[in-house]
Structure 1
Amino acid sequence: MGRTTQQKLAIAAVLEDAESPLTPPEILARASKAVPRLGVATVYRALRSLRKEKKIVIVEIPGEPPRYETADRGHHHHFFCHGCRRVFEVPECSAKLAELAPPRFEVLDHEIILYGNCPDCRPA
């Protein structure tokens, strides 16, 4: 497995503490508080290593840069805010989703992304 460095530990800690999936620039900004001279190339190397170790996963929102979160969060979905472009976790998942499939189809998995505006971006 990949080498454990102070930089990688800081990046892993940022992702562990994050309330939602983060982009590499967001990870860099937060991890730089613990490791001031952290570079973007180091962030990408650490992300690649953490993915290889299956400690993090990519959250892909169509048309957006990839975001990353820890792999141990369990099944959940995401909400993308059009205003601030942040991604939020949606912890609940309806058990009735399989009913949306056509008759006689078997649903094996699903991924849901909700789009709209977060409370900070909603018009008054």
Structure 2
Amino acid sequence: MTATRSTRQRDVIAQVLGRAPGPLAVTEIFELAQGDLPGLGIATVYRTLKLLTGQGQIHPVTLDGETLYEASGKGHHHHFSCNHCGRVFTLHTCPVTLPSGTVYPGGFVVEAHEVTLYGQCPDCAGSQPG
């Protein structure tokens, strides 16, 4: 019975991350997963995130010193963080044209890059008085 329960927990957490519009904090994953698994504990969420990360199904994203998690396999992408509501979204376009191998002034050789844009998401921007 324990193996089935663990598999269900892994499946629900993986589904939560697969549906998310961007990377999620552990507390967000916990709250969303509890909708399907009301008895789920926070320690189980941490263990499952470690397991899914080790299996390559998800990966951590560090944003402003906080570790968030998102499903793997989304290809090259960046993030938008809403200053108003705090949600983080995945952007599927790259605002930077800086391919790997580019030599940046000073002799820095680019291997990869990460970009996070900050501002207001469409929901928050739309709720501002005009």
Measured against the shorter chain, the TM-score band is 0.7 to 0.9
- The DSSP-based 3-state class of the residue aligned with 1:6 is helix
With normalisation by structure 2, the TM-score equals 0.82
- Report the CA distance shift for 1:121/1:100 in structure 2 as closer, same or farther (over 3 A): farther
Q: Which residue of 2 aligns with 1:86?
A: 87
Structure 1, unaligned runs of 5 or more: none
Q: Which residue of 2 aligns with 1:96?
A: 97
Segment drifting more, 12-21 vs 76-85: 12-21
CA deviation vs aligned residue, 1:11-68 (integer Å, no higher than 9, x gap): 11111121211111111111112111001110000000001111101111114x3111
CA distance in 2, matches of 1:97, 1:43: 36
Q: Which residue of 8, 14, 39 maps to 1:6?
A: 8
Structure 2, unaligned runs of 5 or more: none
Q: Which residue of 2 aligns with 1:73?
A: 74
CA deviation vs aligned residue, 1:58-107 (integer Å, no higher than 9, x gap): 111114x3111011111100011111111011111146235893276432
For residue 16 of structure 1, what is the amino acid of its counterpart? G
Q: Which structure's residues are more often strand, by fraction?
A: 2
CA distance in 2, matches of 1:41, 1:96: 41
**RMSD across aligned positions (CA):** 2.1
For residue 28 of structure 1, what is the amino acid of its counterpart? F
Map 1:3-82 onto structure 2 (within 5 A). 4-63=6-65, 65-82=66-83
CA distance in 1, matches of 2:96, 2:61: 22
With normalisation by structure 1, the TM-score equals 0.85
- The DSSP-based 3-state class of the residue aligned with 1:73 is coil
Number of equivalences: 121
Aligned-residue offset at 1:121? 2.2
